[in-house]
Amino acid sequence: MKLVIERREISSALLRFSAPIASIAVALFVAGFLLLASGVSPLAAYKEIIIESLGSLYGLSETLVKTTPLIFAGLGVSLAFRMQIWNIGAEGQIYVGAMGATWVALFSGIQNHWLMMTAMFFAAFFCGGLWAGVAGFLRARWRVNEVIVTLLMNYIAILWVDYLIYGPWKDPKGFNFPLTAQFGDAARLAEYFNTRMHSGFFLALFCALLLYLFIERTVWGYEIKVIGSNQKAAQYAGMNTGIAIFFVLFLSGAIAGLAGFSEVAGLQHRLQHGLSPGYGYTAIIIAWLAKRSAIGVVIVSFLMGVLLVGGDSLQLLWQLPVAFVYAFQGLILFFLLASDFFIIYRVKRVKGIAHA
Amino acid sequence: MTDFLHIKNIRKTFPGVVALDDVSFSVARAEIHTLLGENGAGKSTLMNVLTGLYHPDRGEISIAGERVHFTSPRDSLAYGIGMVHQHFMLVPAHSVFENILLALENVPNFFNRKKYQEKIQNLIDEFDLDLDLDTPVWKLSIGAQQWIELIKLLMRDCQLLILDEPTAVLTPQEADRLFAVLRRLKEQGKSIIFISHKMREVMEISDRVTILKKGCSLETLNRGDFDESRLASLMIGQDKIPQWQKTLQMSDQVVLDIQGLSVRNERGLSDLDNFNLSLKKGEILGIAGVAGNGQKALAEVLTGLKNTNQGRIMAGDKDITNSNARYSYIAGIAHIPEDRKTIGIAPDMSIDDNLIMKSFKSGLFRNWIFQNKRAIRRNAAEKIAQFAIKTGPDGTPVRYLSGGNIQKVIIARELSEHPAVLVALYPTRGLDIGSAEYVHKVIADGAHRGMSTILIAEDLDELLKLSDRIAVMFRGKLIGYVDPRKTTREEIGLMMSGETPGATT
């Protein structure tokens, strides 16, 4: 008896649909052992996560607060994935997006709320876009690997923000903390229900809808899909793939940059150290889980929001380290990638032969 | 005759597809056995079963009377089954000797170089091959590279050699030499499975022919019991072949004039070298030449995928060599690419989407920035009916279609905009006779409407049948034109190997 691995000719829709769910389930199971090892009952912990994140208006609002940047960043990453371009730099794009929005908020002197919002929005949009656009340009012009470029530019972006808040942009009245002055009222998004939830969430949903229409209905979306399916065929059909690569990475970074806008304008009201606790990296997992669909990104971002908020309460309740949440996220991605193997291949048992 | 290989009731299914239904045949020692079948008849699946890549769902394979189960190509090699693939598995930068050595198992770390060289040299001498062991492979002709593949198998002591369309890449003269080698092998008692769809070759070399149709072995015929028409009718069966008449097109209006064109490839070698060609309105200009002599570069230059280093391309009296004007003109050039799966289609997308790949920006298929899904669907339904494309349910990704149907999708798309010029590379390669005839008909109909076609093909019969003129290429140069009604296969063959003809038209 021997096991052989065979490529499936057709992978069933059921399999493709159930794979992400199964990976989450297996990740939950394995993470349970981590919890047991820390002396916490997994069931109690999972129950706690659900109750904390969804069981009250406050919990739900906090979940949506976390979901918001994840949607933006997830949409950005998934747009690039759609064209088989791997944008690993959403984290850095969030930072430069936030930086652009902050510059407008602090130094533009605009008083009108809507004008201010629009200016901040586009500042974040273009900063994020240009940041990713560098990788897009290098990839389109000289085939420089965009994974490396986007990833390494994360460090530049984060350190640049650090430089600004430790240096020129530091709040003079901030007791030397690494943060900028608070934004004025004109530079703040609306908040609701006396919670921290802000209108950035609705903006994110709107963005998801726009992106869905963009990909599925427009001529450009069609072009992106053709290039993603077969770049050579696209070239041969007369599409300019270089411009498309630059454009998609630009847009991908721009949308991720909006996460920075929504964080500073909606939540933090200033630029500060550690403004994103790794949303840009979680976005990669989200895009992968969502199988590149914009609607999927919204759903998965919400699930990740639940996990982040619930994870916080685990810290408070049982003094579990925050690393637990990241470990869990890592497990999901790990099993998801593994499940792809089983979607594409099947393992079959056959009778072996004696070698001659 | 003793059977070396015996195959009984082999069945192999893939989800939703029966690739092999019921195949039985046997190959004797000292026999050249031809497998003949249309594309999709199951030839390649059967070969993959024989070489251990696929595991049959049912059926028996016996070798020299012993029942075997292969789980990998290694198993089948152990039983003496070796295959020469269409694409050679050679390391171009290494020498002939090193390439052969690579294929051998159990070569000790400190091996006696002389001993191996002697052994290989003996084989070379025995078969009268013109091969130097120290030459790097990239310097060799395709024919010589094929010999290396054969020697690899002989060094491994293979008893059954499978050759998958071995003559596709050879000149007629090279093919003759290959046949001589095959006959010699047969005399030594080797079994050979020969796959081809060129009737002439099948007639020339086969001892027996087994016809595959729709995954079943239809019949095995002995030499003497078959002729070309018998084989063709068995192979095609009841399928209808479109009827069309070739009418000669000759106009003096030159639509495309290429002068002194040179294109260098990545390695700095010339793909096209001072190449000249003129294409007249409404003609089908066949390009003959052994694969790899610049045909691909020519097609890529004409369709804008490659830039030129030197020379001029004139469309009428307009210079379209490198100017932007070229791009607008290229829009009028349709292109049936050589490698349909890698550059002809977006495999994960539907037929609907693939059919509009060149015209998606046209007002027909969009409203402002949005795609007009209804028009796209209507267009697809029209084309599917018009070109008789067999497809799954709506939205089925194109990669699930058969090769012939993929080709139809590409042709439907390329011809839908009534191009002035069509550049077709190997448009019928891998197609069954029915589909191939259909493609011929479409090209001939186009010519009738005034479309000029550059037809690059490897099958001389196809070129002779379809072309108004034939240009022969060798190493990136135009060797000359011949008139398909007056020339001989031998004349073209000589020109394909670079000999300038005595008299050309």
Q: Please name the amino acid found at residue B277.
A: L
| pLDDT above 90 for B126 | no
Same domain, B68 and B179: yes
Q: Do B361 and A234 touch (CB under 8 A)?
A: no
| pLDDT-based confidence at residue B177 (cuts at 50, 70, 90) | confident
CA–CA distance, A309 with B503 (Å, rounded to integer): 86
> Among A177, A171, A129, which Cα is nearest to A274's?
A177
| pLDDT above 80 for A137 | yes
pLDDT at A354: 39
Q: Do A348 and B357 touch (CB under 8 A)?
A: no
| pLDDT above 60 for B326 | no
Q: Is A14 on the interface with B (CB under 8 A)?
A: no
Same domain, B399 and B425: no
Answer yes or no: is B245 within a domain: no
> Among A209, A221, A230, A336, which Cα is nearest to A284's?
A336
Alpha-carbon Rg for chain A in angstroms: 22
- Write down the mean pLDDT value for chain B: 83
The DSSP output letter for B355 is H
What are the counts of helices (DSSP H) followed by strands (DSSP E) for chain B?
A: 16, 22
Nearest CA distance, B397 vs chain A (angstrom): 11
Residue B476 belongs to what domain range? 250-332+419-432+448-505
Q: Please name the amino acid found at residue B243.
A: Q
pLDDT at B138: 84
Q: In this structure, are residues B145 and B67 in contact, taking their beta carbons and an 8 Å threshold?
A: no
| pLDDT-based confidence at residue A180 (cuts at 50, 70, 90) | very high
Phi/psi zone of residue A140: left (φ > 0), alpha (ψ -120 to 50 degrees), beta? alpha
The model carries a pTM of 0.75
pLDDT at B486: 85
Q: Is B433 on the interface with A (CB under 8 A)?
A: no
Same domain, B356 and B212: no
Q: Is B306 on the interface with A (CB under 8 A)?
A: no
Q: What pLDDT, in 10s, does the model give residues B53-69? A: 888 888 999 998 888 88
Residue with tokens 């905009």: B417
Q: Do B360 and A238 touch (CB under 8 A)?
A: no
**Who's near B349: CB < 8 A, 6+ residues apart?**
A225, A226, A229, B397, B398
Q: Is A219 on the interface with B (CB under 8 A)?
A: yes
CA–CA distance, B459 with B457 (Å, rounded to integer): 6
Q: Do B55 and A235 touch (CB under 8 A)?
A: no
Q: Do B349 and A225 touch (CB under 8 A)?
A: yes
| pLDDT-based confidence at residue A269 (cuts at 50, 70, 90) | very high
| pLDDT above 60 for A87 | yes
pLDDT at B503: 47
Last residue of a domain, one of B236, B270, B304: B236
Contacts of B55 in chain A (CB under 8 A): 4, 6, 348, 350
Q: Is A233 on the interface with B (CB under 8 A)?
A: yes
Residue A120 belongs to what domain range? 67-296
Q: Do A9 and B15 touch (CB under 8 A)?
A: yes
User: What is the spatial order of strands in the sheet that B17-28 belongs to?
Assistant: B66-68, B58-63, B3-14, B17-28, B216-222, B208-213, B31-37, B191-195, B160-164, B81-84
Same domain, B84 and B197: yes
Same domain, B98 and B222: yes
Contacts of B304 in chain A (CB under 8 A): 238
Tally of domains within chain B: 3
Tally of domains within chain A: 1
| pLDDT above 90 for A324 | no
Q: In this structure, are residues A85 and A248 in contact, taking their beta carbons and an 8 Å threshold?
A: yes
- In chain A, which among 292-351 make CB contacts under 8 A with chain B? 348, 350-351
In three-state secondary structure terms, A219 is helix
Nearest CA distance, A144 vs chain B (angstrom): 18
Q: Is A256 exposed, middle or buried (0-12, 13-18, 19+ CB in 10 A)?
A: buried
In three-state secondary structure terms, A182 is coil
Nearest CA distance, B347 vs chain A (angstrom): 6
Phi, psi at B324, each rounded to 5°: -65, -25
Same domain, B116 and B151: yes
Candidate from B16, B361, B371 with C-beta closest to A217: B371
Answer yes or no: is B443 within a domain: no
pLDDT at B109: 79
Question: Domain holding B143: CATH number?
Answer: 3.40.50.300
Q: Do B71 and A4 touch (CB under 8 A)?
A: yes
Residues A249-277, mean pLDDT to the nearest whole number: 95
Answer yes or no: is A272 within a domain: yes
| pLDDT-based confidence at residue B243 (cuts at 50, 70, 90) | low
Same domain, B226 and B322: no
Answer yes or no: is B441 within a domain: no
| pLDDT above 60 for B505 | no
Q: What pLDDT, in 10s, does the model give residues B245-284? A: 666 666 788 888 899 888 887 666 678 888 999 998 889 9
- In chain B, which among 397-416 make CB contacts under 8 A with chain A? 400
Pairing of the two strands B81-84 and B31-37? unpaired
Residue with tokens 């192999």: B12
Interface test with B, best of A226, A247, A343, A351 (most B CBs within 10 A): A226
Answer yes or no: is B397 within a domain: yes
Lowest mean pLDDT among A306-310, B302-306, B481-485: B302-306
Q: Is A237 on the interface with B (CB under 8 A)?
A: yes
Same domain, B145 and B230: yes
Residues A35-63, mean pLDDT to the nearest whole number: 90
CA–CA distance, B454 with B296 (Å, rounded to integer): 12
- In chain B, which among 51-70 make CB contacts under 8 A with chain A? 54-55, 68-70
Same domain, B289 and B425: yes
| pLDDT-based confidence at residue B358 (cuts at 50, 70, 90) | confident
Same domain, B392 and B460: no
Same domain, B393 and B298: no
Q: Do A233 and B353 touch (CB under 8 A)?
A: no
Token pair, residue B403, equals 């090769």
Answer yes or no: is A34 within a domain: no
Q: In this structure, are residues A74 and A290 in contact, taking their beta carbons and an 8 Å threshold?
A: yes
Q: Do A225 and B371 touch (CB under 8 A)?
A: no
Q: Is A4 on the interface with B (CB under 8 A)?
A: yes
Q: Do A230 and B346 touch (CB under 8 A)?
A: yes
Q: Do A353 and B69 touch (CB under 8 A)?
A: yes
Q: Please name the amino acid found at residue B255.
A: V
Contacts of A232 in chain B (CB under 8 A): 342-343
Lowest mean pLDDT among A3-7, B186-190, B411-415: A3-7
The per-residue b/e assignment along A307-342, b for 16 or more CB within 10 angstroms, e otherwise, is: bbbbbbbbeeebebeeebbeebbebbbebbeebeee
Candidate from B347, B366, B400 with C-beta closest to A230: B347
Nearest CA distance, A341 vs chain B (angstrom): 18
Phi, psi at B309, each rounded to 5°: -100, -35
pLDDT at A356: 35
pLDDT at B108: 80
For residue B305, the chain A residue with the least C-alpha distance is A236
Lowest mean pLDDT among A149-163, A287-301, A336-350: A336-350
- In chain B, which among 76-105 make CB contacts under 8 A with chain A? 78-79
Interface test with A, best of B12, B57, B71 (most A CBs within 10 A): B71
Decide which of B118 and B196 is more confident.
B118
Decide which of A148 and B197 is more confident.
A148
Residues A37-64, mean pLDDT to the nearest whole number: 90
Same domain, B153 and B285: no
Beta strands in chain A, from DSSP E residues, in sequence order: 2-7, 345-350
Contacts of B65 in chain A (CB under 8 A): none
Candidate from B15, B304, B371 with C-beta closest to A219: B371
| pLDDT-based confidence at residue B186 (cuts at 50, 70, 90) | very high
pLDDT at B237: 62
Answer yes or no: is A201 within a domain: yes
Answer yes or no: is B178 within a domain: yes
Token pair, residue B323, equals 């100017």
| pLDDT above 60 for B484 | yes
Here the ipTM equals 0.81
Q: What pLDDT, in 10s, does the model give residues B397-416? A: 888 787 778 888 998 888 88
Decide which of A203 and B85 is more confident.
A203
Decide which of B208 and B475 is more confident.
B208
> Among A61, A54, A88, which Cα is nearest to A73's?
A88
Q: Do B347 and A348 touch (CB under 8 A)?
A: no
Q: Which of A4-13, A67-76, A181-190, B313-322 has the highest mean pLDDT?
A: A67-76
| pLDDT above 50 for A355 | no
